[in-house]
Chains A and B, each alone.
Chain A
Amino acid sequence: AQKVTQAQTEISVVEKEDVTLDCVYETRDTTYYLFWYKQPPSGELVFLIRRNSFDEQNEISGRYSWNFQKSTSSFNFTITASQVVDSAVYFCALTWRTDSWGKLQFGAGTQVVVTP
């Protein structure tokens, strides 16, 4: 069974603090993709990153960074020097090759609240 766990329901930080969002996944497939999406109050999903199962390199994009560790089945996301505009719900998601390629299994989401 495919599963994505985001154990943190809500994280509150003060502006300029760093915040790390945890994501743990389960899949029997050896070929899969992991994603992070941001959902601001408007509701529209904003794509942040896609990582395939064969690429364990960490990635940095501006204030965002991702740590992919297959050994622990984790794909964690860190926002450095948080800003009020980072306030949103963040979803980790998984898609796998077997079955219908492209179906996304979402985690429960983590609400990030950044206060000035």
Chain B
Amino acid sequence: GAVVSQHPSWVICKSGTSVKIECRSLDFQATTMFWYRQFPKQSLMLMATSNEGSKATYEQGVEKDKFLINHASLTLSTLTVTSAHPEDSSFYICSATGPTTYNEQFFGPGTRLTVL
């Protein structure tokens, strides 16, 4: 199956700092990537959809100025949490799909963000 990686797997930062999370498709071209957020004991909630070379589409209630998404290449999307606060502490998961994945999306292993 197709492989998606995320880096870092976990990060701890101070309140007010920015954190960048990378999502890479290792063996296929990811024309579309999705970013999800999961709070403890809760389900995954879609934050945004990004298509390569285009601006991301954010779900209702997600602050686009706070969660900056860049999908500049067919193998890499980044999520930057700007001026992070403790309430942004969560598990962030990306998924990717492309023309060779037959409508299936592949998930990264997730990034656990803790903001102190």
**Cβ contact within 8 Å between B103 and A102:** yes
**Cβ contact within 8 Å between B103 and A106:** no
Starting from the known contacts A43-B91, A47-B1, A109-B42, 9 additional A-B residue pairs (CB-CB under 8 Å) come to: A45-B44, A45-B107, A100-B57, A101-B103, A102-B34, A103-B49, A104-B34, A104-B46, A105-B46
A 23-55 to B, binary, CB cutoff 8 A, 1 in contact else 0 = 000000000010001000011110100100000
Interface residues of A in 63-107 (CB under 8 A from B): 91, 100-107
Residues of chain B whose beta carbon lies under 8 Å from any beta carbon of chain A: 1, 32, 34, 36, 42-46, 49, 57, 91, 93, 95, 97, 103-107, 109-110, 112
Q: Count of chain A residues with Cβ under 8 Å from any Cβ of B?
A: 19
Question: Closest approach, in angstroms, between the C-beta of B101 and any C-beta of chain A?
Answer: 10
Question: Closest approach, in angstroms, between the C-beta of B90 and any C-beta of chain A?
Answer: 11
Knowing A100-B57, A102-B34, A102-B97, say if A44 contacts B44 (CB, 8 Å). no
Knowing A43-B112, A102-B34, A102-B97, say if A33 contacts B103 (CB, 8 Å). yes
